[in-house]
Amino acid sequence: MLHHSEVSKHAGKDSLWLIVKGNAYDLTEFAPEHPGANEHSLISTRRRTQAYEPIHPPGTLEQYLPKDKHLGPVDLSGLEIKPKEETQEEKDRKKRVAEKPPIDECLSLYDFEAVAKSVLPTGAWAYYSSGADDEITMRENRNAYQRIWFRPRILRDVTTIDFSSTILGHKTTIPIYITATALGKLGHPEGEKNLTWAGAEQGVIQMIPTLASCSFDEIVDAAKPGQVQFMQLYVNKDREITRKIVQHAEKRGIKGLFITVDAPQLGRREKDMRQKFADEGSNVQRTQGESVDKTQGAARAISSFIDPGLSWKDIPWFKSITKMPIILKGVQCAEDAVLAAEAGLAGVVLSNHGGRQLDFARSGIEILEEVMRELRKRDLLKNGFEVYIDGGVRRAGDVLKAIAMGATAVGIGRPFLYAYSAYGSEGVSRAIQILKDEMEMNMRLIGAPTLADVTPDMIDTAGLNQRQVEGVPDYLGRANYEPLAGVGNGLGAQPRLLSKENKALL
Amino acid sequence: MLHHSEVSKHAGKDSLWLIVKGNAYDLTEFAPEHPGANEHSLISTRRRTQAYEPIHPPGTLEQYLPKDKHLGPVDLSGLEIKPKEETQEEKDRKKRVAEKPPIDECLSLYDFEAVAKSVLPTGAWAYYSSGADDEITMRENRNAYQRIWFRPRILRDVTTIDFSSTILGHKTTIPIYITATALGKLGHPEGEKNLTWAGAEQGVIQMIPTLASCSFDEIVDAAKPGQVQFMQLYVNKDREITRKIVQHAEKRGIKGLFITVDAPQLGRREKDMRQKFADEGSNVQRTQGESVDKTQGAARAISSFIDPGLSWKDIPWFKSITKMPIILKGVQCAEDAVLAAEAGLAGVVLSNHGGRQLDFARSGIEILEEVMRELRKRDLLKNGFEVYIDGGVRRAGDVLKAIAMGATAVGIGRPFLYAYSAYGSEGVSRAIQILKDEMEMNMRLIGAPTLADVTPDMIDTAGLNQRQVEGVPDYLGRANYEPLAGVGNGLGAQPRLLSKENKALL
Amino acid sequence: MLHHSEVSKHAGKDSLWLIVKGNAYDLTEFAPEHPGANEHSLISTRRRTQAYEPIHPPGTLEQYLPKDKHLGPVDLSGLEIKPKEETQEEKDRKKRVAEKPPIDECLSLYDFEAVAKSVLPTGAWAYYSSGADDEITMRENRNAYQRIWFRPRILRDVTTIDFSSTILGHKTTIPIYITATALGKLGHPEGEKNLTWAGAEQGVIQMIPTLASCSFDEIVDAAKPGQVQFMQLYVNKDREITRKIVQHAEKRGIKGLFITVDAPQLGRREKDMRQKFADEGSNVQRTQGESVDKTQGAARAISSFIDPGLSWKDIPWFKSITKMPIILKGVQCAEDAVLAAEAGLAGVVLSNHGGRQLDFARSGIEILEEVMRELRKRDLLKNGFEVYIDGGVRRAGDVLKAIAMGATAVGIGRPFLYAYSAYGSEGVSRAIQILKDEMEMNMRLIGAPTLADVTPDMIDTAGLNQRQVEGVPDYLGRANYEPLAGVGNGLGAQPRLLSKENKALL
Amino acid sequence: MLHHSEVSKHAGKDSLWLIVKGNAYDLTEFAPEHPGANEHSLISTRRRTQAYEPIHPPGTLEQYLPKDKHLGPVDLSGLEIKPKEETQEEKDRKKRVAEKPPIDECLSLYDFEAVAKSVLPTGAWAYYSSGADDEITMRENRNAYQRIWFRPRILRDVTTIDFSSTILGHKTTIPIYITATALGKLGHPEGEKNLTWAGAEQGVIQMIPTLASCSFDEIVDAAKPGQVQFMQLYVNKDREITRKIVQHAEKRGIKGLFITVDAPQLGRREKDMRQKFADEGSNVQRTQGESVDKTQGAARAISSFIDPGLSWKDIPWFKSITKMPIILKGVQCAEDAVLAAEAGLAGVVLSNHGGRQLDFARSGIEILEEVMRELRKRDLLKNGFEVYIDGGVRRAGDVLKAIAMGATAVGIGRPFLYAYSAYGSEGVSRAIQILKDEMEMNMRLIGAPTLADVTPDMIDTAGLNQRQVEGVPDYLGRANYEPLAGVGNGLGAQPRLLSKENKALL
């Protein structure tokens, strides 16, 4: 029987062992292709083990790791698990948790985000909130909606408002769905099940993520009878694994297969990466070798886990293994939406993966315009082809804008993550309820009693393409412009002629 | 006879009683449809009673509440009215009131706003100043004017400047009117009468609001002989109530009926809602039931008070019950302005309700362009159809821009509210005088001795449609972009390479 | 003989007396039409007298005030002139004067502005730096240049650079002139003579202002033999006064008459007006009557001093009384430039009076584009008609942009005021030298050895009309958007989820 | 033998002597035409000597200074070299050097810049980071890339990514090259050799600058066998010197001659100039004469060192003296790119010299669009004419955008300077590796396995020409708009109605 001191020697690039629930596993070969690969090489065995459980569903090692890497039970005798002393940061966080506002003070989806940032551990916040590179696409996702304005109509009878709809033929109380987001237990011990429960309560469909912290079956089991769930799929290089996953899902009653096509490689999220360094602090001894390896690792495709070779040629195979409607998630231009419709798929999600993949990818709502134009021109909507978008939605007005432009429904991800990180399932439920309240109000105010009355002439999209970037949040640029020294209050370099009062104006 | 201790038990959703001037009333059924419904469920009976008087005109309960809800006089014996201790905030506010600048330091309408914020109780400021959702439309109302520039002409004799005009055939000294705003006593004990008095002094027409704090008759009685007043109308589901109101108004000499069509439901003004929470503080015990109810209440249409079923079909009925010219207030696109003209109405107000209803509704001045183009194209202005706009006006230059584009007059609301909140009737009078001074100066400087000389070629509207939004005042976006840790002054997360001095530049 | 105590009684609107150099004058009738009228009614007799000398040229009272208003010598016995105690602000200012940077640290025209703000008394800074209303035009004057970009050419022999030119046939070493600005002694005891001396040293033409602090003859006397000077003219209602001024100027050798046509009334400069209040403080007793009067006064045209009746009909008369070339200063659209050329005038200055008159007037450089297009189209440049612009010039690159677009020369005002306020005549000289250095460098870098080589294809003006306004420097808008309370560091209202560090990023 | 006290007398404009390694040199005639001329007249002999070595390659005096200016060895007896006391600023800097983040915390090129600013002496930072005038072009270089967005394609097999390419026929592992930057030893004692070593390690071509701190031969000697190097050339007025330099370079194996054509005169970099003043402090006695001279000197062309007479006529001569392919560096419009192609040259670099020469020159990436359009239209690309750009590149996404638009490769300068200033050669190597990692990821994410698959339809350049300038980093404008005094917290001038908390929002 292995002794734990032996395991702890395998903590580098050449050999990486892990202890989970008293058993050891050899992750050496798997590590470089794991989504968190570059983090793993930095942290101690102890912490790796501690970090494993909250984010991996039970059964993960069994499902993905070959049997010969299971090293068997470990003799833990003599292992003194010193409880980590609570940091001041953690103490402060717990205080904020204790003092968080009552849920009914959250009046909009922004508020859940504010509370979540306040109560989440820094690492979880960094993982959830980060985007690719300079996060320009992530912010653009929000900004793009704000370049669309309403042209409301008056004196229409709006006594009764009905915004129920269908997605792939399944009823929804509001044209939104809970889209897939990874590692749900970072925010709350019940993870993705919070979404399932709230979806049931509010009559909203949930899309189950491949990278959930709860296992797929746990999430399906949490559903009420008749509750509709979709599934988001990362395609594995080993198509047999994928076939097994897909067919299992269909058997469990999943109603739609959303294949992610915008992530042949996971994007660099620098805020998240920085957080890792901050966690470890400077007292960790790192060798040069490791650090170079880390960089290389981040850039290498995790090619066995998510297949970068996935291509249009694979589509017929998917159609052959399942009867579930197939939707491509991550389409980003009209040409590919046309190809998807011509390939006989059920729909597309116009998405840039929440701004987490390619910076300077355009927003879903902007892509929607060119996609609908082209699909209409080629008459490709006639067979019930549906178009969804996600990314940046925070207000029911955003949903209405997408509906007016031709979307079937809108996926919402982070806001619901934030909602349950702050208040559990009840948070998600209230977030959806807020959207419904806003929806009812907005439809009254634009003069549309039903979604069919939400017509293209009710919005003004003239400015939609006028993207604006603040210029690498202009820290460098602004700081670089140094004013005349010696003017002002006698200090060294000071902004030109600014009194202290006026500096506040800047 | 009811004892007050009995009344105080009815303080929830299921039963809500109120004591006003020694009499009790049962508001249970009325509450969910009341404009302030979601506030009421939060505050104590005592405070509800205290809050009632300053904002409701005498006779309100008699007019709107069925007789069987009048519970009769209350035995107040044993009720010890403990004077509420003055909060530090209130003490500070009173100090600011005592030290407010002399009125003649107010040089522009902005200054009254500054003083008003300083001297108003927080709740009043929140109610007056708030807008819908992210207040993007509210700010756009101001910004839109700033995208129109002048093309002044020179060497025209501008010795004498005349900017008198008419509205619906009635003389005004300047092409503006005082538009309707609710709850005037929040800002000043004399409420809307301040506007009546200043209107008389300055020769400017006042529009009386349905939701005034003074009673309709009080406001009419405050007018001088011959002083012109209009009336703003929320249409009640019970058309008999509406008929009574309209015909009473006509009998009292009201010269124009402005039917509000942009408020089938009152907008969510989150700043205002937050203020309610802040007032109560966290030591109020709230049950979950109440809080959910509150949210739902806010979203439900207050359908018996303002009829969401009001439609074009009702227009002939209005024409049948009154000879007053009828104007639609809240038209927001050319199509509806055309319908209004074709329906034989007297005019339209292009308005988004001061940005308090639908966020991302466009500004009145931007709508004006498309409306005038369409009305001219269809020759619908020939019968004296008049077009007004309101929202965002702060300078006489704004008025001139609207006139140049074809508006008959411009409604001004909040600035006059702020003016009398700060200085009573005299404040409003001075505010109008400032506008007149600016008007005279601006007309001289653009080379137009009369309003007829203010021609379309004197303005450049090329940029009018180029709306800009800062991106949810980018708190989240900016904060999310976290720079490299450990660089700079040694503190944790710091903006990249910013010295303390340079940070001030950001 | 009048006793000073008698004079001090005449300090109101109904009677306003002043003591200058021991003589009393009755300014009652003159006051309401005086450029500074509304200030005068606010300040004490003592301070009026003290303020008179630094800003009025000797002989002003003799020239403008009728003999019967000269009240004769005053008995000053018993008048104790208590030296005003030096304020802390003034002490601080003197310290800044003592520590101002050596002149050679001023590397650009911005630097003189920075030093000037630092060393000028607040009142002088307010007067010089203020613009009309919200100062949007004043800032636009600068911003407009920054929307024009260069298209430099390479591999042209730029060994020798020659940027000498002519204005109205008179040589200048660089295509700029010193334009007219008022009240020069506020900044420096030698006032406008600083400009004369520097103009001589640098070979640059000066335009003498009507409202100079030095007398016209003093300024002319300060010129070197052969030095060219122009004259700026405000036209008086009494044309005899104007005739005398013009003909005297011609006799003294003035080479061009620039008639100001953009100021039939002086603009409201609120920063300047606020300064007046700040000076007096709140301990001054003011009656309501006075304050109302002040407002009205500001709006009333100073009709006897600057004639608002001046019109195109007056042009032939001007041509009849002088042989000097006549230029209209303040033309703001193509239509009026065409009229000026057709009227046989020598040229126009496209100007908005440094942003001090009508807010939302466009910048000179933007007007230049439409003016040159129209003049060329109508072939109105053939007789030597010249077009100048002023406002917002701070870099030689700005001058080159104007030249490329067809301007003959560019007027510069405030920067030279700031330069001599900071360093006297030497400051102006150095400022001009900096422009020459920049000019030589820029012409080399765009590949133009002479001004004739500065062609329209060397600039890109595509963005010139895309004016941007920040939205009433969005104090209100930004402050109005109040975030969720209770989140963050536990204080009351805090920006959503901003840590202290991140707040600095905003 | 000269005594050092004699040398120290020659420290002015009329006579300027220098001691280098115990020998004296007379630089009087050379000084005014030296790139650093205006600095030299400001600093003491001692400091001049100390400053000489780190930035001049060995042999400079021998190569450029005529023999008769070599004054021979100096008697240094009695010269007490008092070690300069370390300033607090220097102590702080050394502390920051000691605590700089480990290299593997640098995740993007921005991070090297952050570290470099933190660890470089202020003067070096000022020299490296400064741009011309208001640095608007320098910032625009970065911003322009951020106005181009991606249109990624999906479901393409991106298992293998290949971004190797060729420049002038020579292999490169990635389509970038290390462009020429001056004075490399300011940042690191090994100067430009850091770039040579990293270039060898990463398979990237280096362009050797004329103004290197290492000698040309040192840099060539540092190269590995077969390593490709280009040469950047400033053309000397004395063409014989230029011929010698060029032919020596060819003999040493240089593969391309990049003639700089955007610098007939060196630009004014005010930040750099201010730093000089700051270094000296106010306790240096300066006479007026010197200061005037300094200004003039900055503006005068350094005509013997860089020939402002260089023109298209010289091109045939260059072709006659070398077989190296000739490229013009600094082309800024389509017209000149056409001329270069028609002149039979090998290519052009579209560049504005890193924003260090002419402010308001456009960015390389914007020029690229018009250049490619024109070259394609005229079929001038057929003979292998190559187009490069430089300036503002910080992300591999930028490189891809340039490739999609038709560029052959992209030059990167400052980021590599910053990288070796912070971490030596290893820093540069890691910076290139980061770009490669980003490149691989980005190509996967846009769906392009090779550079040939990076097509124009993969980017959206619609906003490329919409340049935005913040308006002279609006210090003046913002500070000028002064709000109503006396409102708010009782202090003097305060922003309108801003509580302390809300001020933080600005």
C52 touches chain D (CB under 8 A): no
Instruction: Locate A135 and state its tokens.
Output: 């996060």
Contact partners for chain B, using 3 or more CB pairs closer than 8 A, are: A, C, D
State whether A445 and B267 contact (CB < 8 Å): yes
Nearest residue in chain B measured CA to CA from A398: B360
Residues B180 and B56 in one domain: no
Residue A350 lies in a domain: yes
pLDDT at D315 over 80: yes
CA C183 – CA C60 distance, rounded (Å): 13
D353 is catalytic: yes
CA A239 – CA A309 distance, rounded (Å): 11
Nearest residue in chain A measured CA to CA from C116: A497
Residues A125 and A70 in one domain: no
Mean pLDDT of D102-114: 89
Q: Which of the pair, A301 or C64, is modelled with greater confidence?
A: C64
The closest alpha carbon to D361, from C175, B103, C447, B440, belongs to C447
Residue D499 lies in a domain: no
> What would you report as the CA-atom Rg of chain A, rounded to the nearest whole angstrom?
25
A76 touches chain C (CB under 8 A): no
A107 touches chain D (CB under 8 A): no
Residues A167 and A235 in one domain: yes
State whether B497 and A476 contact (CB < 8 Å): yes
pLDDT at D399 over 70: yes
Query: In terms of DSSP H, where are the helices of B343-412?
Result: 364-377, 396-405
What pLDDT, in 10s, does the model give residues A113-150? 889 988 999 888 888 988 888 888 988 998 899 999 99
What pLDDT, in 10s, does the model give residues B19-73? 777 788 887 776 655 544 444 433 445 555 555 655 667 677 776 677 888 888 8
The closest alpha carbon to D108, from A132, A130, B494, belongs to A132
In the stretch 174-213 of chain B, residues with CB closer than 8 A to chain A read: none
State whether A359 and D397 contact (CB < 8 Å): yes
Residue A146 lies in a domain: yes
CA C505 – CA A478 distance, rounded (Å): 11
User: Among D104, D482, D493, whose Cβ lies nearest the Cβ of A291?
Assistant: D104
What pLDDT, in 10s, does the model give residues B175-221? 999 999 988 999 999 999 999 999 999 999 999 999 899 999 999 99
DSSP C359: T
Residues C45 and C130 in one domain: no
**Residues in chain A within 8 Å Cβ distance of C110:** 484, 496
Residues C313 and C391 in one domain: yes
- Counting Cβ atoms within 10 Å, is residue A66 exposed (0-12), middle (13-18) or buried (19+)? exposed
DSSP C37: H
Residues C154 and C15 in one domain: no
- pLDDT, residue B506, reads 28
State whether B301 and A134 contact (CB < 8 Å): no
Distance between C425 CA and the closest CA of chain D, angstroms: 14
Among D111, D262, D272, D336, the one annotated catalytic: D262
Residue A270 lies in a domain: no
Among A25, A40, A353, A359, the one annotated catalytic: A353
Among D25, D127, D177, D234, the one annotated catalytic: D234
What pLDDT, in 10s, does the model give residues B325-379? 999 999 999 999 999 999 999 999 999 999 999 999 999 999 999 999 999 999 9
State whether C150 and D360 contact (CB < 8 Å): yes
Q: What CATH number is given to the structural domain containing B450?
A: 3.20.20.70
What is the pLDDT confidence band of residue A24, given thresholds at 50, 70 and 90? confident
Q: What is the dihedral of CA D427, D433, D434, D437, to 10 degrees?
A: -170
What is the pLDDT confidence band of residue B18, given thresholds at 50, 70 and 90? confident
Mean pLDDT of C206-235: 96
pLDDT at A426 over 60: yes
Mean pLDDT of A321-325: 98
State whether A295 and D434 contact (CB < 8 Å): yes
Nearest residue in chain A measured CA to CA from D394: A472
The closest alpha carbon to B437, from B101, B158, B161, B59, belongs to B161
Nearest residue in chain D measured CA to CA from C493: D501
- pLDDT, residue D14, reads 76
**Residues in chain C within 8 Å Cβ distance of A487:** 100-101, 111, 114-115, 118
CA D454 – CA D446 distance, rounded (Å): 8
Residues B115 and B13 in one domain: no
Among A128, A145, A177, A234, the one annotated catalytic: A234
State whether D496 and B99 contact (CB < 8 Å): no
For the sheet containing C70-75, what is the strand order? C2-3, C70-75, C23-26, C17-20
CA B37 – CA B58 distance, rounded (Å): 19
D503 touches chain A (CB under 8 A): yes
pTM > 0.90: yes or no: no
Q: Which of the pair, A482 or C108, is modelled with greater confidence?
A: C108
Q: What angle do CA D301, D306, D312 make, to 5 degrees?
A: 105
**Residues in chain A within 8 Å Cβ distance of B468:** 468
- pLDDT, residue D478, reads 41
DSSP C382: T
The Cα-based distances of C383 to A234, B135, C376, D64 in angstroms read: 76, 56, 12, 54
Residue C313 lies in a domain: yes
- pLDDT, residue B80, reads 67
Instruction: Locate B160 and state its tokens.
Output: 């004498």
Q: What angle do CA A398, B127, B174 make, to 5 degrees?
A: 95
Q: Residue C445: CB partners within 8 Å, gap ≥ 6?
A: C152, D262, D264, D265, D267, D357, D358, D361
What is the pLDDT confidence band of residue A299, given thresholds at 50, 70 and 90? very low
C427 touches chain D (CB under 8 A): no
Of C49, C75, C101, which residue is a domain's last?
C75
Among C40, C128, C353, C359, the one annotated catalytic: C353
Instruction: Locate D148 and state its tokens.
Output: 């181009």
Helix axes D122-129, D414-446, angle to 10 degrees: 50
Residues B60 and B184 in one domain: no
In the stretch 270-299 of chain A, residues with CB closer than 8 A to chain B read: 271, 274, 277-278, 282
What is the pLDDT confidence band of residue B7, given thresholds at 50, 70 and 90? confident
Average pLDDT value over all residues in chain B: 83
A293 is catalytic: no
Strands (E), A31-164: 70-75, 149-150
- pLDDT, residue A81, reads 63
**Residues in chain A within 8 Å Cβ distance of C118:** 487-488, 497
C449 touches chain D (CB under 8 A): no
pLDDT at D33 over 80: no
Residues A261 and A327 in one domain: yes
Instruction: Locate D428 and state its tokens.
Output: 């540069």
B441 touches chain C (CB under 8 A): yes
Q: Number of CB pairs < 8 Å for C and D? A: 193
- pLDDT, residue C289, reads 34
pLDDT at A9 over 60: yes
User: Among A100, A105, A114, whose Cβ lies nearest the Cβ of C496?
Assistant: A114
- Cα of D199 vs its chain's centroid, Å: 17
CB B123 within 8 A of CB B277: no
Residues D370 and D452 in one domain: yes
C64 touches chain D (CB under 8 A): no
Of C423, C441, C460, which residue is a domain's last?
C460
- pLDDT, residue A268, reads 79
Domain containing A54 equals 2-75
What pLDDT, in 10s, does the model give residues B257-279? 999 999 998 887 877 777 665 44
Mean pLDDT of B134-138: 87
What pLDDT, in 10s, does the model give residues D270-297? 777 776 655 443 333 333 333 333 333 3
C234 is catalytic: yes
C117 touches chain A (CB under 8 A): yes
Specify the DSSP element, H or E, that contains D215.
none
Residues C438 and C340 in one domain: yes
ipTM of the complex: 0.86
Instruction: Locate B20 and state its tokens.
Output: 């006003």
Residue A145 lies in a domain: yes
Residue B257 lies in a domain: yes
CA D167 – CA D478 distance, rounded (Å): 48
A500 touches chain C (CB under 8 A): no
CA A250 – CA A244 distance, rounded (Å): 10
How many Cα neighbours within 13 Å face the side chain of B45?
A: 23
> What would you report as the CA-atom Rg of chain C, rounded to the nearest whole angstrom?
25
- pLDDT, residue A296, reads 33
What is the pLDDT confidence band of residue B469, given thresholds at 50, 70 and 90? confident
The closest alpha carbon to A189, from A404, A14, A397, A420, belongs to A420
C44 touches chain B (CB under 8 A): no
Residue A396 lies in a domain: yes
Number of domains in chain A: 2
pLDDT at D41 over 60: no
> What would you report as the CA-atom Rg of chain B, rounded to the nearest whole angstrom?
25
Residues A424 and A321 in one domain: yes
pLDDT at C179 over 60: yes
Distance spanning both ends of chain D, measured CA to CA: 67
Distance between B218 CA and the closest CA of chain A, angstroms: 31
Of A28, A57, A75, which residue is a domain's last?
A75
Within 10 Å of residue B300's Cβ, how many Cβ atoms?
A: 16
Q: What are phi and psi of D286, to 5 degrees?
A: -120, 135
State whether D358 and C445 contact (CB < 8 Å): yes
Distance between C479 CA and the closest CA of chain B, angstroms: 10
